[in-house]
Amino acid sequence: MTAQAQTETTIAFVLYPGLTPLDLIGPLQVFTTMSTYAQLGLPVPPTRTVVVGERIEPMDSDTPVKLTPSATFDQLPNPSIVVVPGGGMPTVRAAANDAILQYVRTAADTAQVCASVCTGALILAAAGLLEGRPATTHWAYWRLLEKLGARYVPEQRWVEDGKFITSAGVSAGIDMALHLVERLTDEATARMVQLGIEYDPKPPHGGIQWSTVNRDIYAPIMAQQLQATLADKPELLAKLTG
């Protein structure tokens, strides 16, 4: 099917206070770059990428940068793809936000793909979307993901189960987005997008040696943070600490 014959693909990124900007910006840049390649004659569907939030107002992130959505949840209730970025304790707080949970559930009902980056998987799980499903998240939050009903899969950049795709910490969202570009177009176009953003990571100290990682190293601190973050959300607190 040619791009001209397809209906518009809408990609909604969920914005909420305190998230990690790269969780959002990395995949967002991938899809934005993809959309420009239609001009090169590549098989890119008509695409609209939108950042949605409960309200259109500047929101704090976990860096000194504020971010502002371009539409409200009500203005884009049924995107083709919905992506939920992650962060630290603010993301855990967002997993108790009824407006966010309702939006994610509604979007997932009709979306072709429901995706998360890093701890964004906790929001999908809190919405009841990952019950019994294989999924991944940031390594330090794996126990929280399992307490919310998902089956944690370690050491994979992304995990795909039907329409649900979860990616691991921060930069893994870029990998997942490139995978989705291939699903929307083809491998050659995905490679062009990768080239366009010059994504060719070579960390100075090599890859992570997962066999040496203690995934529970932050557990004592996290337990204290959960108590403070969810003091007024006893139901979610009980799930995550029980």
* DSSP string of 150-164, one letter each residue: -EE-TT-SEEEETTE
User: What number of residues does the chain have?
Assistant: 242
What pLDDT, on the 0 to 100 scale, is given for residue 8? 92
How many Cβ atoms sit within 10 Å of the Cβ of residue 239?
18
CATH architecture label of 3-201+208-216: 3-Layer(aba) Sandwich (3.40)
Question: What is the rounded distance in angstroms from the CA atom of residue 166 to the CA atom of residue 206?
Answer: 24
With vertex at residue 65, the alpha carbon angle to CA 90 and CA 27, rounded to the nearest 5 degrees, is: 75
Instruction: Indicate the pTM of the whole model.
Output: 0.95
Per-residue pLDDT of the chain (242 residues; tens, 9 = 90+): 333 345 899 999 999 999 999 999 999 999 999 999 988 889 999 999 999 999 999 999 999 999 999 999 999 999 999 999 999 999 999 999 999 999 999 999 999 999 999 999 999 999 999 999 999 999 999 999 999 999 999 999 999 999 999 999 999 999 999 999 999 999 999 999 999 999 999 999 999 999 999 999 999 999 999 999 999 999 999 999 99
What pLDDT, on the 0 to 100 scale, is given for residue 38? 87
Q: What residues act catalytically?
A: 118
Q: Is the dihedral of CA 221, 117, 173, 164 positive or negative?
A: positive
- The long-range contacts involving 209-213, CB below 8 angstroms and separated by at least 24 positions, are 210/154, 210/155, 213/139
What pLDDT, on the 0 to 100 scale, is given for residue 6? 55
